[in-house]
Chain A
């Protein structure tokens, strides 16, 4: 196996809130191979977005900060890098797109002005060359008449077009890593299918690795190689996508997969549910954070936190994983 592109080691992120300091990301480790796609899934507050912001060095300051751990991109430690050096890497080495492109696009500059600025800065292209590259990128993400569209302003574009523009912009300097945080959540299913298709086409063409942060397991199943399931700031399971959906080990993953509304041949009388709600990060239980909602929980689960351990091709943090007997037998 080749050297991983990104290595995240025991990363923890703290946030100071009115309720005191909470650990939004707790001891998260994973790595990504060049060109592959990792899905980070979980529900609101699980720490998936904070993890991605921490990788980008974009935690909101002063509230959020990396408490411990390391993030290495192609061998370069990012957590201790000076802001100046980090800024040189953002856009060029690693890039990010968000759920709502309007928050990331500047409303007073044309698409072209914003795209060429990035290319001139990071790639040292001339204005003319930068414009040509920008038009080429817009064409590649499926924007019709890109030579005309490039002079339009963000508000003139539809939601789907804006998200495509963001993707074109994020990939224009051919970064090694693209972090996409709920990139299709605000889009209609038909546009979502188009946008996801374009991300994966470009990824293959440019050899970009992608971290896809999403709450949507369906999107993960369709686009990712591996998936990381987070709950309350911790990784509860990591596995190749084919393994995860076939044999989920963690009881939370299992419940989540069962609870996804899906088009079924026969309607169910009731949907499978995960009872209860996600605990407050400020009042976490001492044991497994999922214990209160888990029907397999026993004393061990409420007393101590399970560590992430290998189980075949997966890593699972659970004292009573699904299919345990089968795998040890």
Chain B
């Protein structure tokens, strides 16, 4: 196996939070708490979890849009977390981001042509004529007409705006794109168009994606490898087919059961996961999921679960749960 393109080692991102409006005591919000995974070139790592689980913070910490508190991220062997300001800036052309709301991330006062030219100019991508050719090429890649470069973001539909956001991310030929809820705001018929586009781009340019989404069906479609996050931690990671057919963590199973199925003959099949995600400021003791877990044992309340390797046939599968720990009696 070749070296992975992206390696994330025990990455943490903590935010100091004041406990009350006037309180002096500070608490630490462990938004990302010791996350490790790796991603091969040309593959997609899907990151799922409920809101507040830290998946967006993780995505940003990988790109150092949020400065990690500790841990290491390497991209193509280069330690991103150790880079100085200017070196990081140069490295950014290898790693780009696509956001949920393209409207909020595209300047309303600039034409699409300028929006696309900006990263090219910033990273010194040839002279003006070369950059202009590149802008046209980018529009073509994402399926927009050449005339789009004279227009402003508000003149486009949501799906077209997301294409512009994708074109901007692609402009500097990145190796890695972190896509944070990139299709969540789009209508179903447009969503599938954009997902297909992302798939085409991956096979065309060998791109790697960290694909963050709350939608398990979308994640299944785009990912090769999936990580499930709960309260800042990855509780399960596995190849996509394994995680969807033999989920090992009770949380992963509960998430899968909660997905609505467009088949009226399959109602009442679900076991609803009770309760809500606990406050990350005050996470439960032991296993953070024990407060909602149907299979919780006494040990889950007191002891933090280890990450257990449940790989089979050389297919890496890890789960952080006492149920799979051979040293724990259920």
Show the binding face of A for B, using Cβ within 8 Å: 43-44, 158-161, 188-194, 197, 215-222, 241-242, 245, 255-257, 259-265, 267-275, 277-278
User: Contact partner of B262 among A44, A189, A262, CB < 8 A?
Assistant: A262
Nearest CB in chain A: distance from B25 CB, A: 20
Shortest Cβ distance from A216 into B: residue: B260
User: Contact partner of A261 among B160, B199, B217, B245, CB < 8 A?
Assistant: B217
B69 at the A/B interface (Cβ < 8 Å)? no
Are B158 and A44 in contact, CB atoms less than 8 angstroms apart?
yes
How many residues of chain B have a CB within 8 Å of chain A?
Answer: 46
A261-B195, A263-B259, A273-B196 known; A43+B187 contact, CB < 8 A: yes
B267 at the A/B interface (Cβ < 8 Å)? yes
B51 at the A/B interface (Cβ < 8 Å)? yes
Given A43-B188, A271-B221, 7 new contacts (CB under 8 A): A190-B272, A191-B276, A194-B272, A221-B260, A221-B264, A261-B217, A263-B259
User: Contact partner of B263 among A158, A188, A245, CB < 8 A?
Assistant: A245
User: Contact partner of B264 among A43, A245, A268, CB < 8 A?
Assistant: A245
- Within B215-259, which residues are at the interface with A (CB < 8 Å)? 215-218, 220-221, 240-241, 244-245, 254-259
Are B221 and A274 in contact, CB atoms less than 8 angstroms apart?
no
Shortest Cβ distance from B48 into A: residue: A189
A189–B273 CA distance with the chains assembled, in angstroms = 10
A166–B261 CA distance with the chains assembled, in angstroms = 25
Shortest Cβ distance from B271 into A: residue: A193
Are A264 and B220 in contact, CB atoms less than 8 angstroms apart?
yes
A221–B217 CA distance with the chains assembled, in angstroms = 16
Shortest Cβ distance from A277 into B: residue: B157
Which of B192, B193, B273 has the largest number of chain A CB atoms within 10 A? B192
Are A218 and B272 in contact, CB atoms less than 8 angstroms apart?
no
Chain A neighbourhood of B158, CB < 8 A: 44
Are B218 and A274 in contact, CB atoms less than 8 angstroms apart?
no
A-B pairs with lowest CB-CB distance, top 7: A218-B260, A43-B187, A274-B189, A261-B217, A271-B192, A188-B50, A189-B258
A267–B262 CA distance with the chains assembled, in angstroms = 17
Chain B neighbourhood of A278, CB < 8 A: 157, 187
Shortest Cβ distance from B270 into A: residue: A193
Are B160 and A277 in contact, CB atoms less than 8 angstroms apart?
yes
Are B189 and A263 in contact, CB atoms less than 8 angstroms apart?
no
Shortest Cβ distance from B188 into A: residue: A259
Chain B neighbourhood of A158, CB < 8 A: 276
